[in-house]
Amino acid sequence: MTLPEIENQAEVEIVSAQTRPELDVLQVKYLGRNGVINQFLKGLSIDELKNQGGPVNSVKNKIRAIFLSKYAHLNSQETQKKIDVTTPGKLPPIGHLHLLTEAIKEIEDIFTRLGFVRRRYPEVETDWYYAEGLNIPKDHPARDDQETFYLNQNVVLTAHTSNGQLHEMELMKKPPIRMINIGKTYRRQASNTHNPMFHQFEGLLIDKNINITHLIGVSNYFAGQYFGPDRKTRLRPHHFQFTEPSFEVDINCHICNGRGEIDCKKFQVCKAGLLELGGAGMVHPNVLKNGGLDPQKYTGFAFGWGVERVIMMKHQVTNNLRELYTDDLRFLNQS
C-alpha cells in the first residue's frame, strides 16, 4: 500500500471503532513496532528512505491525531453513560472561619455599635509604650522577664494590648476617644488557661465626666450581646498600675446562673458562680498625662479581656485554651 492508502485505511478503521479495546488493537496495528507504518519503511530502499522520511512522519502524526480525537470521543461517551443527570448533586466540603476569627469579628461588631473604632497596634513594642508610659516602674513584678519575652532591654513582645492606650491618645490628640484594640499578646506561660501567644481586646473610652458607671454599662452591654441577655457583670476590687481604681470584671456562670452550686464542676473555670472576664478600671492620671491629655479635664476607663477566654466561656468547647490552636479537625469542626 502507498502512504495515502495507509492513511485513508487507518482513518476509516479508527473512526469506525466503537470501544477503547478496539482502538488499542488498531494503535498496535498501525503504529506498533511491527505495525503497518514500520513495515512500509522496511520495504523501502536506502535511496527511497531519503525521500520518504518526511512524508512518513507526516502520516504517522496525522494517524496519532486521529487516535487522540477518537479516544477523547469515547471517553466522553463513557462519562456521559455513567452520569445520571437526575441524581441530586453532592455539595463540596465547605470550610468555616476559625473560632478565634469568628469571635474577633463578633467582638468588633458589638463595640462598633457603641461607637468604638477598631485599631491594631504593635505587637513588638518599646519599653515606653509597654510599661513606662503605662505607669509601670522598672522594678514592678509585671516586668519580670519570667513573664515577658524581651528582645533587648528596651524592646519586648507585648504581654498586653494596653500599649494601644498611649498610641490612641497620641493619634487622636483630643477626646472623645473610643477605641477597641484587638491583637496578639505574648507571655512566658503555658497551662490549660494560658498559651505563650494569645489574643486580647483592649477597650479605651476617654471624655469629659466619664466614671465607673459608664464602665459597668459597657461591660453589661458586651456580656448581654456576646454571652446572652441573662448574663451580668460584677466588679471586684483589684490593682493594676495603669488604672485607679482597678477591678477584675466577672460575669455570672451560665450553668449555675451565678448560684455557685457545688455540682457546677463540669465547667472548671466557674468560681463560686462567677467567671473571670478580665481586668478593667479608670485610666490612671499619669497615663493620661503620658498620652498628652489633661487629667483635670478628662477621665476615662479601660479594660483588657482575653479572646480565647470569652470563647471558652461562651461555647464550652474545651477546658484547655491550647486546644484552640490545634489542627485536629475533630475539635475545630465542633459546632
Judge whether 295 and 289 are in contact, CB under 8 Å: yes
Q: Given a cut of 80, is residue 259 above it in pLDDT?
A: no
Kindly tell me the burial class for residue 225, based on how many C-beta atoms sit within 10 Å of its own C-beta (0-12, 13-18, 19 or more).
middle
- CATH number of the structural domain 99-332: 3.30.930.10
Q: What is the distance between the alpha carbons of residues 60 and 2, in angstroms, rounded to a whole number?
A: 13
**249 falls in which pLDDT band (50, 70, 90)?**
very high
- Residue 238 vs residues 162, 248, 282, 300: alpha-carbon distances, Å: 17, 6, 12, 17
pTM over 0.85: no
- Residue 273 vs residues 28, 50, 56, 106, 266: alpha-carbon distances, Å: 82, 98, 91, 25, 12
Judge whether 287 and 294 are in contact, CB under 8 Å: no
Q: Given a cut of 90, is residue 221 above it in pLDDT?
A: yes
pLDDT in tens, 163-213: 999 999 999 999 999 999 999 999 887 777 678 899 999 999 999 999 999
Q: What is the distance between the alpha carbons of residues 231 and 220, in angstroms, rounded to a whole number?
A: 8
pLDDT in tens, 3-17: 788 888 888 888 888
Each domain of the chain, given as residue ranges in start order, spans: 3-82, 99-332
C-alpha cell of 210? 466619664
